A and B are shown apart, each in its own frame.
Chain A
Amino acid sequence: MMTEANRNVEKLVRIADERFDAHRDANNRYTDRMLAYLLIAEWVFGVVLSLVFSPDAWEGKTRILNIHVPLAVLLGGAIVAVPVFLAFVRPGWTLTRHVIAIGQLLTSALLIHLSGGRIETHFHVFGSLAFLAFYRDWKVLITGTLVVVADHFLRGTFYPESVYGVTNPEWWRFLEHAFWVVFIDIVLVISCIRGVKEMRRLAEQSAELEAVALSHMTAGAA
């Protein structure tokens, strides 16, 4: 038979769970919106980059439109369109944040193209992973990392010279490049797990405070 104390504990756990779920959902929705605006800004940045630094290509003395411009506008637009759409139509949904993670890392790849493979632009990958850590969901980081690994693996397989500068690299070379991504992932995953624990602890403390306040009010009324 359930005692009064057991009922109180059960109620406390339920309130803590509700608080935790509400906090996590609010964080997911906030991060969805934040990253949607970031994706839009990155798209605009990519278009400006192509228009300012490489709007034209040349054939002798004939000027032609550089493919960077349609790539930035159309492919860049396509990359951000669905993540942004989901962020506003279905915020907080699990698929939304994974699609945003894919869009964010594909944006990194596109910006690397548009900047001519500059090593500095590769830092965008690490920035992107750090932004994704705002979700405090380590599975989103795995999705983002898989995009980077797949990009290197596929390019290393079909266009090895463009990645490694040799035509027949060892099969494991993509792992060497992925290593630094995994390195930051380890730090971010630990941070995500700690963040979730922190949210859980705050939810429990909040529920306990509410219970204490309620018992004082009940005692006062009696």
Chain B
Amino acid sequence: MMALPISRRDLGLVSLAVVWLIVVVGGMAYTWRYKTIPGKAAAAPERWPAASELRRPSGRPTLVLLAHPRCPCSRASIAELARLQAVVGSRTHSIVLFLRPEGMPEGWERSDLWSRAAEIPGVAVVADADGREARVFGTHTSGEVLYYDRSGTLAYSGGLTGARGHEGTSAGFRTIVSLVRGERADRREAPVFGCSLDTKSAELKGRT
């Protein structure tokens, strides 16, 4: 019988390493799949909603970001908003709306995410009591950005990140920069990644 070039023990260790590689690559693939499953898209009104209590300055585009104050994924959205503001500056009127769900005490929405958003120059931070504005704007997912042009027409709806809770260049970021600069934008929508703004959302159960 021909002798093996390596011992039985080492053969076992090689097999273990192969199985390990398959398991960890599978785990990383699952992670990426999970991180790229978008949240429920907004059904935002095409024109700035009259029912909104937010003020839209005439002659300037308005950007509204709706966020859950405790969503860990939305840290990336706020970080991207800070980058975006550094590019677009005062050319847009930017508002971050932080959800305070019904029944939660006043101040519940003032999380570390609120503080981070408030530190971004040129950004107004507002509490969305009982999720009223979220309903008016038809949004369901934290991190949703709605960009209304200077005439009050919806020009973009979607996220600012390319994956769930992941900083870095995204289609949404590039689209808004193009719109602000008056260039042609490739798209009007992009997926949004973040926690659900709705308390009862069985289809999103387990996602952040």
Chain A: residues with CB nearer than 8 A to chain B? 53-54, 56-64, 66-68, 71, 74-75, 78-79, 81-82, 85-86, 89-90, 93, 95, 99, 102-103, 106, 109-110, 113, 116-119, 151, 154-155, 158-159, 161-167
Contacts and interface: CB of A to CB of B under 8 A. Distances in A.
A89 B166 contact: no
12 contacts: A53-B72, A54-B208, A57-B72, A60-B99, A60-B198, A71-B31, A95-B17, A106-B28, A116-B79, A117-B76, A165-B168, A166-B171
A56 B163 CA distance: 18
Interface of B: 10, 13-14, 16-17, 20-21, 23-24, 27-29, 31-36, 68, 70-73, 75-76, 79, 99, 101-104, 131, 142, 162-163, 165-171, 173-174, 191, 195-201, 204-208
Nearest to A85: B16
Nearest to B161: A117
Contact of A163 (B104, B162, B165): B162
Contacts of A162: 32, 35-36, 162-163, 166, 168
Given A64-B206, A155-B32, A78 B23 contact: yes
A113 B31 contact: yes
Given A59-B196, A71-B31, A159-B32, A118 B167 contact: yes
B5 to A, nearest CB: 13
B167 A119 contact: yes
A89 B29 CA distance: 29
Given A58-B70, A61-B102, A103-B24, 20 more contacts: A56-B70, A59-B199, A59-B200, A60-B101, A60-B196, A60-B199, A61-B104, A64-B205, A64-B206, A68-B208, A74-B27, A78-B24, A78-B27, A99-B20, A102-B21, A113-B35, A116-B79, A162-B32, A162-B166, A165-B171
Nearest to B75: A116
Contacts of A54: 72, 165, 208
Contact of B163 (A61, A62, A110, A117): A117
B208 A57 contact: yes
A70 B38 CA distance: 20
A99 to B, nearest CB: 5
Given A66-B72, A68-B72, A79-B24, A90 B13 contact: yes
Contacts of B99: 60
B72 A165 contact: no
A93 B13 CA distance: 11
A61 B70 CA distance: 10
A165 B35 contact: no
Contacts of B23: 78
B171 A59 contact: no
A53 B72 CA distance: 8
Given A106-B28, A162-B35, A59 B167 contact: no
B165 A116 contact: yes
Contacts of A164: 162, 169
A57 B73 CA distance: 8
Contacts of B32: 155, 158-159, 162
A116 B76 contact: yes
B170 A59 contact: no
A61 B167 contact: no
Contacts of B73: 57, 116
Contacts of A110: 28, 31
Contact of B13 (A89, A116, A151): A89
Contacts of A151: 28
A113 B208 CA distance: 14
Contacts of A103: 24
B197 A60 contact: yes
Q: Which of B10, B162, B174 has the most CB of A within 10 A?
A: B162
Contact of B20 (A53, A81, A158): A81
B20 A117 contact: no
